[in-house]
Amino acid sequence: MVGDSPDSLVRSSDPLHPANLIPELCRSFYHLGWVTGTGGGICIREGDKVFIAPSGVQKERIEPGHIFVLPYPQPTPSPHTDRLFLRRPQLNLKESACTPLFWNSFELRDAGSCIHTHSQHAVMATLLWKGPAFTISHQEMIKGVRVGGTGAALSYLDTLIVPIIENTPFEEDLRDSMAEAMVKYPDAPGVLVRRHGVYVWGKDWEKAKTQTECLDYLFEIGVKMQLAGLPTVLNPIENTNE
Binding-site entries for substrate = 98
Q: Which residues are annotated as a binding site for Zn(2+)?
A: 116, 118, 196
- Active-site residue, 107 included: no
Binding residues: 98, 116, 118, 196
Strand partners, 116: 41, 199
> What is the DSSP-derived secondary structure letter of residue 110?
-
Alpha carbon distance 199, 115 (integer Å): 6
**Residue among 24, 63, 140, 238 flagged as catalytic:** 140
- 42-45: which pairs have CB atoms within 8 A and are 24 or more residues apart? 42/113, 42/114, 42/115, 42/116, 42/205, 42/208, 43/96, 43/98, 43/99, 43/102, 43/113, 43/114, 44/18, 44/112, 44/113, 44/205, 45/72, 45/106, 45/111, 45/112, 45/113
Catalytic residues: 140
